[in-house]
Amino acid sequence: MATRQEMSDFLASVEKRAFKQAVYAVRQDESALDIVQDAMMKLAEKYADRPNTEFPMLFQRILQNAIRDWFRRQKVRSTWTTLFSSFGSKDDDDDFDILETLRAEDTSNVPVSPAAQLEQSQVLAIIEQCIAKLPGRQREAFMLRYWEEFDVAETAAAMGCSEGSVKTHCSRAVHALAIMLKNQGLTLESVLSPTEN
């Protein structure tokens, strides 16, 4: 059984990465933050009695389910909004910009010189844009395998699919990213660190 401090340390360690995953998926900062907070609360409320070694798997499963639930709710809302908008006025006061995302600050491996910092931030921005363009399941598999460093079996469990599907999604994501990054003058090695199993 994990202690309160172990739970707190785990949540602090995954907060930024989880937020990025949610932002890439839903493309709304506020919704992404709500999703991550809900996932953290659910982990703390329902699984605090589990060993802390199980937290990464449990949290990713909860987070991915929360993202899917968000999309289900959006689909229902969209259906009703479309239905009711045909009866209402055509006022268009929608301020939402789907490409607008909040950058989670990452202070690890920060270069010393301002020029190197600028170059790194530009490269990261390009990588983030490319990852955001991936189809949902490919992006999910890629993030779990390469950012969360889950193995294939853990990724399959978190995504609720077979290991073969994980490998397929990862392969397609890596191939698509390689093409997108090459078009931007970057190589895939700047993104990946673990090896593909």
Is 1.10.10.10 the CATH classification of the domain at 114-190?
A: yes
pLDDT confidence tier of residue 103, bands split at 50, 70 and 90: very low
Measure the CA–CA gap between 82 and 168, rounded to whole angstroms.
Answer: 35
**Beta-carbon count within 10 A of 38 CB:** 16
Q: Where in the chain is the domain with CATH 1.10.1740?
A: 4-81
Quick one: what percent of the chain has pLDDT higher than 90?
Answer: 39
The whole-number pLDDT of residue 44 equals 92
Contacts of residue 40, Cβ cutoff 8 Å, sequence gap at least 6: 11, 15, 18, 59
The DSSP call for residue 149 is -
CATH 1.10.10.10, the chain: domain bounds: 114-190
Task: List the alpha helices (DSSP H) in the chain.
Answer: 4-26, 29-47, 55-85, 114-133, 136-142, 152-159, 163-183
Q: What is the DSSP letter of 40?
A: H
Phi-psi domain of 90 (left: phi exceeds 0; alpha: psi -120 through 50; beta: other) = alpha
pTM over 0.85: no
pLDDT for 112: 58
**How large is the average pLDDT for residues 46-74?**
90
Look-up: residue for tokens 């490319």? Answer: 130
- Written as one letter, the residue type at 32 is A
Section 142-154 average pLDDT: 87
> Above 50 in pLDDT, residue 104?
no
Specify which of 23-27, 36-40, 64-68, 75-79 reaches the highest per-range mean pLDDT: 36-40
Q: What is the pLDDT of residues 29-47, one digit of tens each?
A: 999 999 999 999 999 999 9
CATH class for the domain made up of 4-81: mainly alpha
